[in-house]
């Protein structure tokens, strides 16, 4: 080996040792951050459940973490927000006080728009599932508590309100103010008169919820009739009463299910659909929904 090559090789080796040392330092810092994140998140919940931190103050703290320029603080926010989703299966074992506080936290996160477009549908789904059991269960009480904390927010989510109103146990608690609010949101989002039949749709939605709706995410599907709209073999089982969709466009590629990211964007747009943002939300769906996804949609 020539003296020049030997010198170059020695210099490269020295650089390698320096980079290896830097990588080891970064790895140690990363692991230390992960441990710190978990401890910080646990500390926040300990303070919350002991009453040292109010729910409102907890959400203020999370907002500061979310807006922080420091990566580990934003990761702490993510860790805290993920906690109710991971603990949902164990809520039946929670003491009443901690369960109520967790429900308030979830509701206030929704009320203050503290959840990302990817996380909010997951939280709404969690609340919907909490009403699947009896009104005497702790899960049901958790769901009601969460709704009580985000009443203004759910006024902007008529599709979500329709989903939870389908739950028989939810409708059984009609004396609850939050259940009455959900019913009024549904009533206000449905046209008052059907031009063809003259029948008030808002007077009919109870029967539709009970007997005609099937399939779809959150149980939100299409309403079955015996009519045939030429939509293929399953048209007799899935036909819209108030909307008559056009036949599917013939395309040169097979129909396919969209990606999870696309599903999340579509679900977020639908969950937030209201009369005053119809064009905006339609545009959002149009930007991500391709013809090959029409069968799924």
Q: How far is CA 233 from the centre of its chain?
A: 33
Stretch (H or E) spanning 44: helix 3-50
Alpha helices in the chain (DSSP H): 3-50, 55-67, 71-87, 96-111, 119-130, 138-148, 151-154, 158-165, 168-172, 177-189, 201-207, 260-271, 278-288
More confident residue, 29 or 62: 62
Nearest Cα to Cα of residue 205 among 214, 197, 213, 216: 213
Instruction: Give residue 249's pLDDT.
Output: 56
pLDDT at site 103: 97
pLDDT of 211 > 60? The answer is no
Per-residue pLDDT averaged across 247-265, rounded?
70
Choose between 148 and 242: higher pLDDT. 148
- pLDDT exceeds cutoff 70 at 127: yes
pLDDT for position 287: 86
For residue 230, the model assigns a pLDDT of: 38
Q: pTM for the complete prediction?
A: 0.58
57 pLDDT higher than 50: yes
pLDDT band with cut points at 50, 70 and 90 for residue 252? low
The per-residue pLDDT for 175 is 85
Whether the pLDDT of residue 213 is over 50: the answer is no
């Amino acid at each position: 080996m020539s003296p020049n090559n030997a010198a170059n090789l020695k210099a490269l080796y020295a650089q390698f040792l320096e980079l290896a040392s830097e990588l080891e330092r970064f790895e140690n810092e990363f692991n230390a951050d992960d441990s710190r994140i978990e401890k910080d998140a646990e500390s926040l919940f300990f303070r919350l459940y002991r009453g040292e931190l109010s729910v409102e103050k907890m959400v203020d703290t999370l907002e500061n973490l979310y807006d922080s320029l420091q990566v580990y603080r934003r990761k702490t926010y993510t860790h805290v927000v993920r906690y109710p989703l991971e603990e949902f299966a164990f809520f039946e074992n929670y003491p009443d006080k901690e369960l109520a506080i967790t429900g308030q936290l979830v509701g206030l996160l929704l009320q203050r728009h503290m959840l990302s477009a990817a996380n909010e549908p997951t939280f709404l789904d969690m609340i919907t599932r909490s009403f699947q059991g009896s009104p005497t269960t702790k899960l049901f009480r958790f769901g009601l508590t969460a709704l009580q904390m985000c009443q203004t927010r759910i006024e902007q989510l008529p599709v979500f309100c329709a989903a939870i109103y389908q739950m028989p146990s939810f409708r059984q608690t009609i004396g609850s103010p939050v259940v009455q609010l959900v019913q009024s949101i549904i009533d206000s989002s449905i046209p008052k008169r059907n031009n063809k039949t003259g029948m008030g749709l808002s007077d009919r939605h109870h029967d539709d919820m009970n007997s005609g709706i099937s399939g779809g995410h959150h149980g939100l599907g299409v309403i079955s009739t015996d009519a045939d709209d030429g939509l293929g073999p399953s048209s007799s089982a899935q036909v819209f009463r108030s909307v008559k969709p056009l036949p599917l466009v013939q395309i040169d590629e097979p129909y396919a299910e969209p990606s999870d990211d696309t599903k999340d964007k579509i679900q977020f747009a639908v969950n937030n659909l209201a009369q005053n943002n119809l064009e905006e939300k339609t545009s959002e769906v149009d930007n991500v929904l391709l013809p090959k996804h029409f069968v799924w949609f």
